[in-house]
Structure 1
Amino acid sequence: MKQYTGYIGTYRSVQSNHIYRFVLDAESGALTIPEPYLPVPDSKYIALRDDSVLVSTVRREQGAGLAVTNLRLPSPHVTAEALGDPGAGCHVAIAEDHVFTADFHAGTVTCYRLNGLQPIQEHTIAIAPHAGCHQVLFHNDLLLIPCMELDECRLFSAVDYQPRGVIRFPKNSGPRHGIFDRAHRYLYLVSQKDNTISCFAVQDTHFSLCGRLPLLDAPVSSCDEAAAIRFSPDERFLYVSVRGAEQIIVLEANGSQMQILQRIDCGGQHPRDIALSPDGHWLLSANRCSDDITCFPRDAVTGLLGPLCSRVPIHEGVSIVFDTTEKGR
């Protein structure tokens, strides 16, 4: 039986103050009930490097910042922490020996260097209070930071952290999360406020808009908000979650050409994050407000999602990562 181990970060609450671990049966799509794995409160966003180094946001009584652990330790424990952030971040991204946390409310991005597993705070990029910094993306020697409340994606040098440009979006669109294809020829970025997806052709450090597409035919609720975006393993399909509408949108992506193929109910409320299994056969949705994870089968040829096949409870679930090492056979 093939299995994949997944980890999910959570908002801090009486019922959720850990990073949790679960197992996905790669043949049936069945999920185990997530169990507490690491005592990391406010682990809203987590990221994994090389299937061994797990980083997450953290907020404790003495401060907020970054928690780091090695998943290959005989017994799980937080290896090191740095608590120099103004508040708990909403996103964390890892690239080789550097980690970045984005703080939505403070409008800052904190840059850490990993000395072994010890995070050393190097620099804070201060954009503007309440700028809505919601992600950090890497492109060549650039950092891209979508700023939801500024309707901009700010560009900074990954070497000296100086400003390197701006990608502007329509007023009140609210750029939130983006993803590059592996060749970095295209950048796809979803906007939370107007529920659109934008495609930019990328040439060196230039980003040219070549398409923008509404994710919804019409508003479903007064609080429709696009959130996460993920690629299929073959990069033919994109998957976007929309909260309020409680939908997962399936798009065919052929360079600048985007086409919506399917809109499917996420099976819960407030799909904060979505993740594809390492083999691409399953899509999971972390539904924060219904306190569950749902799982859907995925057709690798058509990209379409099948009916809900599994659901397990988890309080305040936010972000999902997979250990891509297969277990079993």
Structure 2
Amino acid sequence: MARLTGYLGTYRSPKSAGVFHFTVETDSGALSVPALFCDAPDAKYLALRDRTLAAPVRGEKGAGLALIDLAAGAPRAQTLLTEESGGCHVVFDGDYIHTANFHAGTVSVYRRAENALSLHTRLSFGAGAGCHQVLVHGDTLLVPCMEQDRICLIDKSADFAQAGEIAFAPGTGPRHGVFDRAHERLFVVEEKECAVYSYRAQNGFSYADQVVLLPPGAFPGSTAAAIRLSADERFLYVSVRGANQLAVLAVEGERLALLQLTGSGGDHPRDIALSPDGRLLLAANRFSGELVSFAVDTGSGLIGKELCRVPAPEAVSILFDASITEPV
């Protein structure tokens, strides 16, 4: 049995002050109560590379990006505030770090060189575009613009110029996507439609399949949130708010099949995360304020019984630190 370390990104509120950390036992799913790790207000999303944790933050004098050194004895945050409102997503990309800002409709491209952090450029997609993520695909950035029903394509090699789009039907709302390891397939979750789309990702993007997650007329007003691909690339997992469901889909070549809908163990599931061995799934239920662990059958992909739940106020994102695994 081993114990994994994880981090939670949270909304800024009187109940939450930044990035929290927790542990989970891989065999039992037992969770520790998350404790404050670093004061980084409104750190809604987290990314990790080379012992550095990145988070969009919002302070009293603006918003921007914080880089937290995990190798230090105590966490130290390097912060650059260049935005008026806080971002909702962050991703490492070589020397660059990209943040997406839903409310401003922008992507900020930061650069880190010789430990100095600077704003390289800011890309605007229009007020109210609803930029919710940045996906890196070789020299191309994919930016889901949820309120515009499109994913914008950005060419990094052409000074971050716009280079086309993947268009969706009005009212679908592309929110987040995930690639397979070979970057041959792209899976996109549609927030408003509560559906998952698959695309071939060689020589451009071409539609392959789609699956609606909820029965027609059931759970009106529900919205999909997070999407995760299992390590063996056989299953997709999606959280659905409103209905408070977790969906499991089988990936069968270019086709998708809905296998399961099961309760999230709380109200308003945001992020979900799979343990590195795929035997646990964690769900952050924001409105009910808890982190819940579930057993996963790695053969069938199905989510099994609830294993543990702990308080986690305003939790939005979950990140495992695979480099820290302790024997129990």
TM-score (norm 2): 0.97
Pick aligned residue for 1:268 from 263, 266, 269? 266
Q: CA deviation at 1:185?
A: 0.9
Residues 74-116 of structure 1 show CA distances to partners (whole Å, capped at 9, x for unaligned) of 11221x1110023100111112221111111110000001124
Q: What SS does the corresponding residue of 1:260 show, helix, strand or coil?
A: strand
Q: CA deviation at 1:316?
A: 0.4
Q: What amino acid is the match of 2:253?
A: G
Instruction: Tell me what 1:307 maps to.
Output: 305
Q: CA deviation at 1:223?
A: 2.4
Instruction: Tell me what 1:183 maps to.
Output: 182
Give the unaligned 5+ runs of structure 1: none
Taking the aligned partners of 1:177 and 1:186, their CA distance within structure 2 comes to: 14
**Alpha-carbon contact 1:68-1:117 (below 8 Å) kept:** no
Q: CA deviation at 1:267?
A: 0.2
Taking the aligned partners of 1:211 and 1:88, their CA distance within structure 2 comes to: 34
Instruction: Tell me what 2:155 maps to.
Output: 157
Q: CA deviation at 1:11?
A: 0.3
Equivalent residue runs for 1:221-300 within 5 Å: 221-300=219-298
Q: What SS does the corresponding residue of 1:308 show, helix, strand or coil?
A: strand
Instruction: Tell me what 1:7 maps to.
Output: 7
Q: What SS does the corresponding residue of 1:7 show, helix, strand or coil?
A: strand
**Alpha-carbon contact 1:49-1:96 (below 8 Å) kept:** no
Taking the aligned partners of 1:263 and 1:117, their CA distance within structure 2 comes to: 45
Taking the aligned partners of 1:255 and 1:147, their CA distance within structure 2 comes to: 27
**Alpha-carbon contact 1:252-1:260 (below 8 Å) kept:** yes
Which segments of structure 1 move beyond 6 Å, counting only runs of 4 or more? Answer: none
Residues 241-286 of structure 1 show CA distances to partners (whole Å, capped at 9, x for unaligned) of 1111101100111231101111110001111100011221100001
Instruction: Tell me what 1:62 maps to.
Output: 61
Q: CA deviation at 1:147?
A: 0.5
Q: What amino acid is the match of 1:166?
A: E
Shift of the 267–118 alpha-carbon distance from structure 1 to 2, 3 Å rule, reads farther
Equivalent residue runs for 1:44-63 within 5 Å: 44-50=44-50, 52-63=51-62
Equivalent residue runs for 1:129-140 within 5 Å: 129-140=127-138
**Alpha-carbon contact 1:24-1:30 (below 8 Å) kept:** yes
Taking the aligned partners of 1:153 and 1:207, their CA distance within structure 2 comes to: 11
Q: CA deviation at 1:72?
A: 1.6
Instruction: Tell me what 1:319 maps to.
Output: 317
Residues 125-149 of structure 1 show CA distances to partners (whole Å, capped at 9, x for unaligned) of 0110010000000111000000111
Taking the aligned partners of 2:274 and 2:201, their CA distance within structure 1 comes to: 25
Taking the aligned partners of 1:22 and 1:179, their CA distance within structure 2 comes to: 25
Residues 47-79 of structure 1 show CA distances to partners (whole Å, capped at 9, x for unaligned) of 1113x110001000011000001212111221x
Q: What amino acid is the match of 2:196?
A: I
**Alpha-carbon contact 1:81-1:118 (below 8 Å) kept:** no
Q: What SS does the corresponding residue of 1:149 show, helix, strand or coil?
A: helix
**Alpha-carbon contact 1:69-1:117 (below 8 Å) kept:** no
Instruction: Tell me what 1:112 maps to.
Output: 110
Q: What amino acid is the match of 1:121?
A: L
**Count of aligned residue pairs for this structure pair:** 326
| 295-304 or 220-229: bigger deviation | 220-229
**Alpha-carbon contact 1:286-1:294 (below 8 Å) kept:** yes
Instruction: Tell me what 1:145 maps to.
Output: 143
Taking the aligned partners of 2:110 and 2:141, their CA distance within structure 1 comes to: 14
Instruction: Tell me what 1:24 maps to.
Output: 24
Residues 190-211 of structure 1 show CA distances to partners (whole Å, capped at 9, x for unaligned) of 101111111111113x110111
Taking the aligned partners of 2:211 and 2:219, their CA distance within structure 1 comes to: 19
Taking the aligned partners of 2:295 and 2:278, their CA distance within structure 1 comes to: 9
Taking the aligned partners of 1:255 and 1:86, their CA distance within structure 2 comes to: 43
Q: CA deviation at 1:234?
A: 0.5
**Alpha-carbon contact 1:47-1:54 (below 8 Å) kept:** yes
Taking the aligned partners of 1:117 and 1:231, their CA distance within structure 2 comes to: 33
Q: What SS does the corresponding residue of 1:173 show, helix, strand or coil?
A: coil
Taking the aligned partners of 2:9 and 2:32, their CA distance within structure 1 comes to: 16
Q: What SS does the corresponding residue of 2:87 show, helix, strand or coil?
A: coil
Q: % of aligned pairs identical? A: 45
Taking the aligned partners of 2:251 and 2:212, their CA distance within structure 1 comes to: 14
Taking the aligned partners of 2:184 and 2:281, their CA distance within structure 1 comes to: 25
TM-score (norm 1): 0.97
Taking the aligned partners of 2:224 and 2:132, their CA distance within structure 1 comes to: 13
